[in-house]
């Protein structure tokens, strides 16, 4: 990375002039029209050393100029009042640097020297309820963050954390009991075996949940039954467990199909139910620490802090009837993850509206030793995807929009826009372009922001959109195909012939900075921003130089090679966003 190389040099200069070397930090310049890099260390050093910043920056630059490789390396090294340092590299140095990373599959991005073990909890679908548009963001953002940390060399475990253990399970059991009263699942005397096939299919199940949920709201007796059934299920009643397994099997099949369509993949398919075995242990821990107390008939743990500005209510561990809650399964899951993986981080990619829930869970877990101090627990929240009316995205008649239907509509839109060209498989291309539309639209917004899903805008081939980036990729592909033979000629990157080519080279070097920042802020929008800038420079470069018609084979070879690296860089970023590419479109 060039900024790292320059930082080293500047640090040495600061040190040689008698200053703390850490003032030598070099960053990419925000004003590329003035200089490529900047060092503002003299400004802060001035305060510490009680000198005018200009005197320090002059000393440092004069020292730099006296060093051995200065002439070869720099085209500009000047101080600007009151004490800024502007730097630009010589074209030769830049070209040699790009040449040096040209064969690297990671395009110069180094792996973490100190890899961390990270569990990412994302997706969070619920059994027996269809995935709806609300499940899109956790899947897309979580997948991107997972890919990013993996690429940076960390050990990452993505867990889908199925919602398979809450009250909705009891509700469905009660409703199925009503519909099929004679099945053996409900007979307490029956000792098995239970049917291997369920008496209903997934679409029946999807209909059962809303009916059960409505009945619970309207009928207190029914609601009590649902609670009781949930409690019995959680305590292992065999008939209920057998029935519940059908719910899980049918749902997981459906959920998998949709995640596969989204190219979202998990390492673990655990659910809330898998934490059940750890519940007694956390309850014992909380008891032994004297943290559990009774409040309104439930056993709770206080998690307030003196500095709290809003009220954080105690976390409920179990109710008087013994049933456990969402917070309990999350605590037990932390216990399980710590035992299984001893992770450095557990990241939860979950809607920001659950912020209070995570404050309660994290505080309870760290205060009482369920999470050891080495394990950081972090809620990576996100805002909602809204319709044009500014409210959460719905179907036309205001109903909940199923995720599968939403993906269908995006793919159909893409299909209309794809030209019937030779060598283009319309179905496959529409799927890829549709997915790129969807994912780029979502990821390019800073995750904490709500945003309006505007399909016309997001599916355009111009602007900050997935199709624009894919189009750039395909365009580079077309040029490469035309010059296939040339590609196999050994070529070397030579000095840039234009400012846009120079900027393209500098942008390629910027990849590592963009990815590091995206990881630090858990913010894939930084990758989107980067990939858009790269694509725009690539298009500008292609317009400025007639690569195919260029007569000078050295130039042509160098340009081809630069395009190849650009394409590698694009591909890498798109992969981190979870976006695939078509070879043609």
Look at residue 193 and give its three-state secondary structure: coil
Nearest alpha-carbon partner for 438 in 477, 412, 419? 412
* Contact between 274 and ligand ARG per CB under 6 A: no
Token digits for 154?
Answer: 């960390």
For ligand ARG, give the closer residue by CB, 348 or 541: 348
Look at residue 292 and give its three-state secondary structure: strand
Nearest alpha-carbon partner for 377 in 396, 395, 357? 357
Instruction: Tokens 């030769």: give the residue.
Output: 92
In the list 11, 121, 232, 274, the residue contacting ligand ARG (rule: CB under 6 A) is 121
User: Using CA atoms in the order 416, 421, 425, 427, what is the torsion angle rounded to 10 degrees?
Assistant: 10
Stretch that binds ligand ARG, among 45-53, 100-108, 121-129, 274-282 (CB under 6 A): 121-129
* Contact between 348 and ligand ARG per CB under 6 A: yes
Per-residue mark of binding to ligand ARG, 431-470 (x: CB under 6 A): ----------------------------------------
Instruction: Tokens 């075996």: give the residue.
Output: 193
* Contact between 350 and ligand ARG per CB under 6 A: yes
Cα-based distances in Å from 128 to 74, 169, 197: 64, 8, 16
* Contact between 163 and ligand ARG per CB under 6 A: yes
* Contact between 165 and ligand ARG per CB under 6 A: no
**Beta carbon of residue 122, minimum distance to ligand ARG (angstroms, whole number):** 8
* Contact between 161 and ligand ARG per CB under 6 A: yes
For ligand ARG, give the closer residue by CB, 161 or 363: 161
For ligand ARG, give the closer residue by CB, 161 or 368: 161
Name which of residues 319 to 338 contact ligand ARG (CB under 6 A): 330
Look at residue 90 and give its three-state secondary structure: coil
For ligand ARG, give the closer residue by CB, 125 or 467: 125
Contacts of 256 (CB under 8 A, 6+ apart): none
**Beta carbon of residue 356, minimum distance to ligand ARG (angstroms, whole number):** 12
Token digits for 584?
Answer: 């043609």
Stretch that binds ligand ARG, among 91-99, 119-127, 236-244, 311-319 (CB under 6 A): 119-127
**Beta carbon of residue 477, minimum distance to ligand ARG (angstroms, whole number):** 39
**Beta carbon of residue 348, minimum distance to ligand ARG (angstroms, whole number):** 5
For ligand ARG, give the closer residue by CB, 24 or 138: 138
Nearest alpha-carbon partner for 566 in 527, 528, 529, 539? 539
CB of 92 closer than 8 Å to CB of 490: no
Token digits for 435?
Answer: 């997915």
Question: Closest CB to ligand ARG belongs to which residue?
Answer: 124
Please provide the DSSP assignment of 385-401 as one string: EE-TTSSB---TTS-PP
CB of 319 closer than 8 Å to CB of 328: no
Token digits for 9?
Answer: 């040099």
* Contact between 126 and ligand ARG per CB under 6 A: yes
* Contact between 476 and ligand ARG per CB under 6 A: no
For ligand ARG, give the closer residue by CB, 361 or 579: 361
Look at residue 9 and give its three-state secondary structure: helix
**Beta carbon of residue 368, minimum distance to ligand ARG (angstroms, whole number):** 18
For ligand ARG, give the closer residue by CB, 121 or 175: 121
Secondary structure percentages of the chain, helix, strand, coil, to 5: 55, 10, 35
* Residues of the shown chain interacting with ligand ARG in the complex, contacts defined by CB under 6 A: 121, 124, 126, 161, 163, 330, 348, 350
């Amino acid at each position: 990375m060039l900024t790292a190389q320059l930082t080293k040099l500047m640090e040495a200069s600061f040190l040689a002039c008698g200053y703390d070397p850490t003032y030598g930090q070099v960053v990419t310049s925000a004003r590329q029209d003035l200089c490529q890099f900047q060092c503002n260390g003299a400004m802060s050093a001035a305060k510490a050393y009680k000198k005018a910043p200009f005197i320090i920056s002059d000393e440092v630059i004069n020292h730099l100029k006296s060093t051995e490789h200065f002439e070869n390396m720099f085209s500009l090294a000047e101080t600007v009042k009151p004490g800024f340092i502007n730097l630009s590299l010589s074209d030769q140095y830049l070209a040699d640097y790009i040449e040096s990373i040209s064969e690297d599959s990671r395009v110069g991005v180094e792996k973490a020297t100190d890899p961390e073990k990270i569990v990412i909890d994302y997706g969070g679908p619920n059994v027996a309820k269809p995935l709806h548009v609300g499940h899109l963001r956790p899947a897309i953002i979580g997948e991107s963050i997972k890919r990013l940390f993996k690429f940076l060399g960390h050990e990452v475990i993505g867990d889908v954390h199925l919602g398979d253990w809450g009250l909705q399970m009891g509700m469905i059991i009660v409703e199925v009991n009503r519909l099929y009263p004679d099945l053996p699942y409900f007979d307490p005397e029956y000792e098995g075996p239970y049917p291997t096939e369920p008496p209903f299919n997934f679409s029946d199940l999807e209909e059962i949940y809303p009916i059960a949920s409505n009945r619970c709201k309207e009928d207190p007796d029914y609601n009590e039954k649902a609670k009781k059934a949930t409690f019995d299920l959680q305590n292992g009643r065999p008939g209920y467990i057998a029935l519940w397994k059908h719910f899980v099997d049918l749902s997981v099949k459906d959920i998998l199909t949709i995640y596969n369509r989204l190219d979202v993949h998990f390492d673990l398919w655990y659910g809330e139910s898998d934490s059940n075995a750890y519940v007694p242990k956390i309850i014992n821990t909380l008891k032994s620490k004297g943290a559990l107390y009774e409040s309104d008939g439930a056993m709770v743990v206080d998690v307030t802090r003196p500095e709290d500005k809003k009220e954080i209510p105690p976390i409920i561990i179990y109710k008087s009837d013994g049933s456990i809650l969402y917070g309990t399964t999350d605590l037990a899951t932390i216990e399980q993850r710590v035992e299984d993986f001893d992770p450095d981080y557990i990241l939860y990619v979950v809607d920001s509206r659950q912020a209070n829930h995570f404050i309660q869970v994290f505080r309870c877990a760290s205060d009482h030793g369920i999470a050891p101090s080495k394990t950081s627990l972090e809620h990576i929240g996100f805002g909602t995807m809204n319709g044009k009316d500014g409210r959460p995205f719905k179907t036309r008649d205001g109903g909940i929009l199923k995720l599968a239907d939403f993906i269908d509509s995006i793919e159909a839109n893409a299909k209309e826009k794809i030209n019937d060209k030779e060598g283009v498989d319309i179905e496959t291309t529409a799927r890829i372009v549709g997915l790129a539309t969807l994912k780029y639209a979502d990821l390019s917004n800073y995750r904490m922001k709500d945003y309006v899903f505007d399909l016309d805008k997001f599916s355009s081939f111009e602007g900050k959109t997935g199709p624009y980036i894919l189009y750039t990729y395909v365009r580079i592909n077309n040029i490469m195909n035309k010059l296939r033979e040339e590609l196999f000629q050994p070529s070397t990157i030579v000095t840039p012939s234009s400012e846009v080519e120079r900027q393209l080279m500098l942008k390629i070097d910027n990849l590592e900075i963009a990815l590091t920042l995206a990881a630090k802020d858990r913010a894939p929008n930084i990758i989107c921003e980067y990939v858009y800038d790269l694509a725009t420079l690539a298009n500008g470069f292609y317009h400025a130089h007639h690569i195919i018609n260029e007569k000078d084979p050295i130039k042509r070879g160098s340009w081809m090679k630069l395009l190849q690296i650009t394409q590698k860089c694009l591909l890498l970023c798109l992969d981190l966003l979870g976006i695939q590419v078509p070879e043609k479109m």
